[in-house]
Amino acid sequence: VNPSSSENGGRSGGFMPSPITETPQKVDVNPPKGTRDFPPEDMRLRSWLFQNFREVSQLFGFEEVDFPVLESEALFIRKAGEEIRDQLYCFEDRGNRRVALRPELTPSLARLVLQKGKSVSLPLKWFAIGQCWRYERMTRGRRREHYQWNMDIIGVPEVTAEAELISAIVTFFKKLGITEADVGFRVSSRKVLQEVLRCYNVPEELFGRVCIVIDKLEKIPLDEIKKELKSVGMSDEAIEELLEVLSIKSLAKLEERLGTSGQVVGELKQLFALAEKFGYSEWIQFDASIVRGLAYYTGIVFEGFDRQGKLRAICGGGRYDRLLSTFGGDDIPACGFGFGDAVIVELLKEKNLLPELGLEVDNIVCSLDPELQGAAALVASTLRGKGQSVDLVLESKPMKWVFKRAARINSRRLILIGKSEWERSTVAVKILSTGEQYEVKVDELD
Ligand SMILES: OCc1cccc(Br)n1
């Protein structure tokens, strides 16, 4: 066959792509707007952070779960006007299905619980670490993805569940060297809001929408808040009363306001009593204005904040007793939290608590002669079989290059395979920190 004949597209010896694919297309080497790459040094920090998430979750007896990043859009469509809905990264797939990149993990977790149904026994204590997405206008220059650590307790109606979750987060902070002087938790209950709305005959179905407006208290002007509450259908009197109750920052004052009989004050008192027993009383404070920005919360809500007030909320969560039933399941009580991977790193930087995470390799193995590449491979495998990490030099390189690489990868030892040593079944070893060097039998290398 004439390799350049037209029969095979003018190709000569193998596939000759058409000219159009030959022209190199200069690609943008940066990741899409609002997203991050994780080159090695960033990946080491991320892995360290996730390792701490996992260790705390397992310390509390939680099991790890995961779900697809891509979910049915319906999982996240709620009518309460949440920001998370406005920023949903959603599209129609080639099968004409409405899908979305998950903006959070809780709905997926609820879906999996319902899918498992009676095959799982309650309570469930599940944790997940997953990338979540939002489509934000880049004018605000914020990210469009982050990784979230979630811990959820499914099937426990008691406030002991919320107390346990906050204890897990406190344990995580302490593990990283963060103290109650650095961060705190603002705690409240949406039942406070519910109590006020009930007194003013605000319909139950407006509850979620009112919460979403109140969650913007610190973010938009008060007049705007009042306007939005009026548009939801609240009277001026109800709005004034609500804003006044939301300004309460002590349980005692709340008790004065709502009376001691209600479940609201009782649950909050129980949570603070448990905090005392867990040993994190100094970390938490009551703040009636905390409602969190997700419509499905129904009870206790909390958020972690930096006491210097420089950063956005570090984490947040609460009770969501109705979510599973809104997905068509039974009324299963649930609570959980989400903890993003970005604000915590900003906090660690602020507190000078970022760990030193250099690459560390036990050995760099190098043959001094091309014929000894096989010998080098054998030595590398022997060491790896003993659990030692090895950076094997894969080409013939000058020693200057080898020493430079050994320093860059922070190798503890340099193992040289030389002709005369190999004839004696030995290798040369150099301890790079001290310069000490010696010869050793290959099978005594450890
Ligand atoms: O904090 C809410 C959130 C959700 C998805 C992605 C990012 Br970035 N942030």
pLDDT in 10s for each residue of the chain, 446 residues: 344 444 444 444 455 656 556 788 899 999 999 999 999 999 999 999 999 999 999 999 999 999 999 999 999 998 777 888 889 999 999 999 999 999 999 999 999 999 999 999 999 999 999 999 999 876 666 899 999 999 999 999 999 999 999 999 999 999 999 999 999 999 999 999 898 888 888 888 888 889 889 999 888 999 999 999 999 889 999 999 999 999 999 999 999 988 766 789 999 999 999 999 999 999 999 999 998 988 899 999 999 999 999 999 999 999 999 999 999 999 999 999 999 999 999 999 999 999 999 889 999 999 999 999 999 999 999 999 999 999 999 999 999 999 999 999 999 999 999 999 999 999 999 999 999 999 999 989 98
How many angstroms is it from 294 CA to the middle of ligand 1? 12
Residue 85 Cβ contacting ligand 1 at under 6 Å:
no
How many angstroms is it from 134 CA to the middle of ligand 1? 6
How many angstroms is it from 23 CA to the middle of ligand 1? 39
Residue 35 confidence (pLDDT):
96
How many angstroms is it from 139 CA to the middle of ligand 1? 16
Which atom of ligand 1 lies nearest, measured to the CA of 132? 5
Residue 88 Cβ contacting ligand 1 at under 6 Å:
no
Residue 198 confidence (pLDDT):
87
Q: What are the φ and ψ backbone dihedral angles of 143, each rounded to 5 degrees?
A: -75, 160
Residue 303 Cβ contacting ligand 1 at under 6 Å:
no
Residue 146 Cβ contacting ligand 1 at under 6 Å:
yes
Please choose from 71, 76, 133 the residue to mutate so as to test ligand 1's pocket, defined by most ligand atoms within 8 A of CB: 133
How many angstroms is it from 179 CA to the middle of ligand 1? 25
Q: What is the ipTM of this complex?
A: 0.96
Residue 102 Cβ contacting ligand 1 at under 6 Å:
no
Q: How far, in Å, CA of 276 to CA of 57, rounded?
A: 21
Residue 46 Cβ contacting ligand 1 at under 6 Å:
no
SS (H, E, C) 160-209: HHHHHHHHHHHHHHHHCCCCCCCEEEEEEEHHHHHHHHHHCCCCHHHHHH
Q: Which two tokens stand for residue 430?
A: 């150099």
How many angstroms is it from 101 CA to the middle of ligand 1? 11
Residue 133 Cβ contacting ligand 1 at under 6 Å:
yes
Residue 412 Cβ contacting ligand 1 at under 6 Å:
no
How many angstroms is it from 114 CA to the middle of ligand 1? 25
Global confidence as pTM: 0.91
Residue 5 confidence (pLDDT):
45
Residue 145 Cβ contacting ligand 1 at under 6 Å:
yes
How many angstroms is it from 158 CA to the middle of ligand 1? 29
One-letter amino acid for residue 385 of the chain: G
SS (H, E, C) the chain: CCCCCHHHCCCCCCCCCCHHHHCCCCCCCCCCCCCCCCCHHHHHHHHHHHHHHHHHHHHCCCEECCCCCEEEHHHHCCCCCCHHHHCCEEEECCCCCEEEECCCCHHHHHHHHHHHHHHCCCCEEEEEEEEEECCCCHHHCCCCEEEEEEEEEECCCCCHHHHHHHHHHHHHHHHCCCCCCCEEEEEEEHHHHHHHHHHCCCCHHHHHHHHHHHCCCCCCCHHHHHHHHHHHCCCHHHHHHHHHHHCCCCHHHHHHHHCCCCHHHHHHHHHHHHHHHHCCHHHEEECCCCCCCCCCCCCEEEEEEECCCCCCCCEEEEECCCHHHHCCCCCCCEEEEEEECCHHHHHHHHCCCCCCCCCCEEEEEEECCHHHHHHHHHHHHHHHHCCCCEEECCCCCCHHHHHHHHHHCCEEEEEEECHHHHHCCEEEEEECCCCCEEEEEHHHCC
Residue 140 confidence (pLDDT):
66
How many angstroms is it from 317 CA to the middle of ligand 1? 14
Which atom of ligand 1 lies nearest, measured to the CA of 146? 8
